[in-house]
Amino acid sequence: MRWSRVIGVVLMVGGSVVARCRQAQPHVLVGERQRLQLVSQPPIPLTGVLVGDPHQVVAHPTRALFLVSDRQPPGLYLFSAEGRLVRRVGFRGEGPGEFMAPPQIAVWGDTLLLRGGMRGRVAAYRISDGRLLRDPFLPVLPAALQHWLLHRQHLILYWAGRRRPVLVEVFDLKARQFTHALDRPLLTPAHEALLRYYASGGLALLGNSIVLATPADAPHIYFLDLRSGRQGSWRRLEDPDFQVRPPPDLEALLQQGKWKAYREQWVDYLTTNSRTRGLFVLQDRYLVVQLEHGQGPEKRWLRLLVINPATRQEIDRIPFPLRLRAQYSLHYSSFATARDSCLYLKRYLEGQDRWALWPWCLEPVPSDRSP
């Protein structure tokens, strides 16, 4: 009887110790092929200013800085790698360097481009001291942008609609003119509809080339070499769950004045299709394409396709379950930016009443790990 009690106590204590050890372990997501894993790190609270609603987050490619564009009210802030406020850049208004809408950001070296002023003006700032260099920095851009990147003297523009003849164009900042374009992708109705929904598609820099992940239909990765102008398709993104249905005839509903049906069908179309939700380069070793699947906002989930840029072959597929995502709305549920070997989610910390960046780092699976 005494021995049974002793054994019972030992089992209870051992079980509690194991449970605590498990709770202390970070979340680990292992890819289907057991080669790579995503390991979560502690969230990085954004301190020094109260960010109301992050619109865009950009990790500086070479400096330990995060740039965060705020929606409410419109603002732009620089944070250190530890999340401490470094400075605010620009102010709300209609004057030089000011903006009325949440600013769109592009960075390279010590230059920050900001688009959010009246009539699509682009202003240039110096990152090291926040000084306004020029406004307007460019002629007014003629259409809405889905993504844009700054690379040395090149500005890469990813248009969001049919108001431009091509999808991606390169503007040479020295020559002050458009030089070449990525004209391979075709805009289908489904492609164009999903382009305008949050951050569909993806654009990234890989060495001296830009790479593009198309957002809908049969998604591809395309490339454009900025030195030679050579371009083409890297590969088609093969995923059995990726499905895009044709968009509804919304024009007919508008002509009939059926506004409720228009809104319902439009929201249903946008929230039930698969789509690409980002393209990231990690240490020039991995090209990560972010795909989103699922029916309805509660059942959606992400899958990361990891590609070796040297061979253009898929290395691994890593599912990212909904229970580990920031569940505030769809555009907060996918990775927002990347640096080094980590991808970052936007996460609201209710206990601290502030936003944070939540890093998930891509690591090789240890060879001695049991399957």
Q: What is the pLDDT of residues 296-329, one digit of tens each?
A: 556 677 889 999 999 999 999 998 876 665 544 4
Radius of gyration (Cα) for the chain, nearest Å? 23
Q: What is the pLDDT of residues 16-67, one digit of tens each?
A: 433 333 333 457 777 766 589 999 999 999 999 999 889 899 999 999 999 9
Buried (b) or exposed (e) across 183-222, using 16+ Cβ within 10 A? Answer: ebbebbebbbbbbebebbbbbbbeeebbbbbbbbbebbbb
Q: What is the pLDDT of residues 83-130, one digit of tens each?
A: 999 999 988 888 888 888 888 899 999 999 998 866 778 899 999 999
Helices (H), 33-153: none
- Domain at 27-364, CATH class: mainly beta
Domain ranges in the chain are: 27-364
Look up the pTM and report it: 0.85
Strand 301-308 and strand 286-293: the pairing is antiparallel
Whole-number Å distance between alpha carbons of 8 and 16: 12
Q: What is the pLDDT of residue 268?
A: 81
Q: State the CB neighbour count (10 A cutoff) for residue 40.
A: 16
Listed in sequence order, the residues at least 6 apart from 308 whose beta carbon sits closer than 8 Å to its beta carbon are 285, 286, 287, 314, 315
Least confident window among 197-211, 245-259, 273-287, 317-331: 317-331
For the purposes of burial, counting CB atoms within 10 Å of the CB of 273, is it exposed (0-12), middle (13-18) or buried (19 or more)? buried
Least confident window among 63-72, 180-189, 207-216, 285-294: 180-189
> Is residue 274 over pLDDT 70?
yes
Q: What is the pLDDT of residue 323?
A: 63
Phi-psi region of 19 (alpha: psi -120 to 50; beta: other; left: phi over 0): alpha
Whole-number Å distance between alpha carbons of 93 and 75: 10
> Is residue 211 over pLDDT 90?
yes
